[in-house]
Amino acid sequence: ESSMIDRPRYYDQIRQFIDTPFIKILTGVRRSGKSTMLLLIQEIIKEQGVAEDHIISMNFESMQLADLRDSHSLYTSLSQKLGALKGKTYLFFDEIQIVESWEEVINSLNLDYSCDIYITGSNSQLLSSELSTLLTGRYIHIPMYVLSFSEMLQFRSEYRKKQTDEELLWLFIRRGGFPAVHLSHYDEKATHMIVSDIYDSIVLRDVVQRYNIRNVDLLHRIMHFLMDTLGSPVSAKKISDYFKSQHHAVDINTIYSYLDALVNSFIIHKVQRYDIQGKELLKTQEKYYLADQGIQHAVLGYRDRHISGILENIVFLELVGRGYRVSIGKLENLEIDFVAENTKTRLYVQVAYQLNLENTVAREAAPLLAIRDAYPKFVVTMDTRFQDTIEGIRYVSLLQFLTDVYLF
């Protein structure tokens, strides 16, 4: 049972749509908990009295289903099953992107039978134009992320008696939020092995195999470059220049396509720059953040100089996990780490490791002070002592930012 820890952040969103005509689509990086979420929903509907044989669950990565990986054979197989059942059935499909033309199957099942459909995928192309055309307005999309810090505290609730939240925050900074890491008492070394294995399987199965990547070494080099420069603006040209300086010439288009493959597999997130004055997204100098900050330590080892990038990564994941659209703010020659928007509001966030000197306080505040609107502005730091509001800017510790649900 321990592995079935409820994650209300997602579960509450999905629960409203149980037994509605909408197809529920969960996407996210491999091992972020999508399959467990499907199991959780199956538990609920069983409790509500749905018979076992009216629940059909398939994971298309399993070799048992290898001969159902095209739309025709899958539809034929399912319609035989569904034809024999009376009443509503519940269908759960894991990693459905493996099935060729799967959109047509889902569309037909939805039209031909009384069923409630849930699907997961670890590739963003799942939501491609094909799907939107066939299922316009008939699906809801729920992106899933690895555990946030508050979710990790729930997973590790028994530790909170022994460790302070501050100690647990350092654990989260170094180990990340893959659920597998927090299901048992692993030490740092075991954790890194688990995360490395997850990382390797994502790179191999979701990137290399799916995109027929020929130069696996180059793919790893690009990932290492991104990890090493976490939190800095990156462009394909910048990566290509770096490789040149290492006497390793690489075609810039290859870099673009490898970056796309990584983004599509959710192992990295691409964040665009937003011009606050011109109110438009800019095409250059994006930043890339990791699906999980633990990957960087597992793959590169712990380096102090990476801490600011890691903190930005954590703040970024917290914002998207809470449902914000996130970009990097640009105001003339100033940069704001994050501009986060949802349907109701917008907030501006600067991330700084420490605020030890007056000038750091001023430097972090300058870009925020230049913004002339009334939306909330935050400077997030590791400093738990300096909690203040200066000229409308709230200084909060990372701990509070990650745990205080009323903050924003």
Summarize pLDDT for 88-132 with one digit per residue, the tens.
999 999 999 999 999 999 999 999 999 999 999 999 988 876 777
Spatial CB neighbours of 375, under 8 Å, sequence gap ≥ 6: 345, 346, 347, 348
Upper half-sphere CA count for residue 117 (Cβ side, 13 Å): 27
Asked if pLDDT for residue 357 goes beyond 70, the answer is no
Segment 19-29 shows an average pLDDT of 95
What is the pTM for the complete model shown?
0.94
Q: Which residue has the higher pLDDT, 383 or 40?
A: 40
Burial class (CB in 10 A: 0-12, 13-18, 19+), 232: middle
Residue type, 317: L
| CA–CA separation, 36 and 275 (whole Å) | 39
pLDDT at 175: 94
When pLDDT is cut at 50, 70 and 90, the band that residue 356 belongs to is low
% of the chain beyond a pLDDT of 90: 76
Q: Across the chain, what does the average pLDDT equal?
A: 91
- Give residue-wise pLDDT tens across range 193-219: 999 999 999 999 899 999 999 999 999
Segment 215-227 shows an average pLDDT of 95
- Give residue-wise pLDDT tens across range 290-340: 999 999 999 998 777 789 999 999 999 999 999 999 999 999 889 999 999
Asked if pLDDT for residue 408 goes beyond 90, the answer is no
pLDDT at 359: 61
When pLDDT is cut at 50, 70 and 90, the band that residue 4 belongs to is low
